[in-house]
Amino acid sequence: MDDLLRLLEENGLRLVERSGRTHGGYEPRTATIRVAPGLSLRATCSVLAHEIAHAVLGHTPTADATARARQERRADEWAARLLITPAAYAAAEQLRGAHPASLAFELDVTIEIVIAYQRLLRRVGESTYVGARMGRGQWEHRLPGH
């Protein structure tokens, strides 16, 4: 949580605890992130990371459903990279299997964040790559198979 609060400060964002239609929100005009009261620490950190992602990625509100879905997906994936390390994910999957709810419990994040992280994984043979792109050596992290 301290790292998230530091990110808020570094990015000139203000945090408020207030109810709304969703668990969180980002208002770019006021650089304000809203988190719903009463969430668990796990949910609060996951929502806060997601909303910080909207700010860092420069997202703005849109009525375009396709653009909004793309922004939400990217914010989840950014938050997942922030909250889950490749080593922590590998250890959790070794212990719990690939079931998102079990992994979320083990990694202390929400299921949505686990699912977003899983979207970032590419498995080739016995190895798992994080942030893989086309081309040899084009990945952020490689976990060799066991």
More confident residue, 123 or 5: 5
Question: pTM value?
Answer: 0.84
CA dist., res. 129 & res. 125, Å (int): 11
Phi–psi pair at 108, nearest 5 degrees: 60, 45
Strand partners, 95: none
The amino acid occupying position 22 is T
What tokens does 90 get? 């590998």
pLDDT digits (tens, 9 = 90+) for 93-111: 999 998 999 999 999 999 9
Cβ atoms of 43 and 110 within 8 Å: the answer is: yes
Confidence class of residue 146 from pLDDT cuts 50, 70 and 90? Answer: very low
Predicted confidence at residue 9, as pLDDT, reads 97
pLDDT digits (tens, 9 = 90+) for 53-92: 999 999 999 999 999 999 999 999 999 999 999 899 989 9
pLDDT digits (tens, 9 = 90+) for 30-43: 999 999 999 999 99
Predicted confidence at residue 134, as pLDDT, reads 46
